[in-house]
Amino acid sequence: MKANAIKKALLPMLLLGAVGLSSTANALQLMSVPGIKGDATIEGYLDWIVIENVQAGVEEGLCSDVTVTKHQDSASLMLIRAASTGETFDKIEIVQLSTGADKAEETLRVTLSPVRISSLSLSSGGGPLSESLSLDSASLIFNDGSPGEVIIPCGRLRK
């Protein structure tokens, strides 16, 4: 395999590893769903939905559903409605921000397109209510700010 082919094969796995990280001390993950406002107040990401964790995987060149976990917030009821009606969105964007003293810097953007919330579950272990959303998408587009992007086909939805 040529070096370029190896790089192209490994890059999606490395990016998925970055997306699979839960929030750390200096990182924040946000999600934008068209028509659904969240509680984020960060410049450039106003009204995005704050999320706790993202899980995604690739097997044999195709990705599986993306799972997002978050706490109950102002977006919760609209997300439940979207899941219950099978609404399809043109795209949902997920970003990971590195939060420094001065500003937040985007380190990864994942665009799911087209996409729907295929399932949503609620749980609580005595603390705040937690939500888990499964997102079914035709493709995942990864961009870490460097030239180019990585596009992975996935899911049951088709463009």
Q: Quick: pLDDT tens for 37-72.
A: 999 999 999 999 999 999 988 888 788 899 999 999
What is the C-alpha to C-alpha distance for residues 56 and 66, in angstroms, rounded to an integer?
Answer: 5
Domain 3-153 adopts which CATH fold? Pnp Oxidase; Chain A (2.30.110)
Arithmetic mean of pLDDT over the chain: 85
* CA–CA dist 143, 159 (Å, integer): 20
Band of pLDDT at residue 158, cut at 50, 70 and 90: low
Whether the pLDDT of residue 135 is over 70: the answer is: yes
The pair of structure tokens assigned to 12 is 């999606």
Helix-, strand-, coil-residue percentages of the chain, each rounded to 5: 15, 45, 35
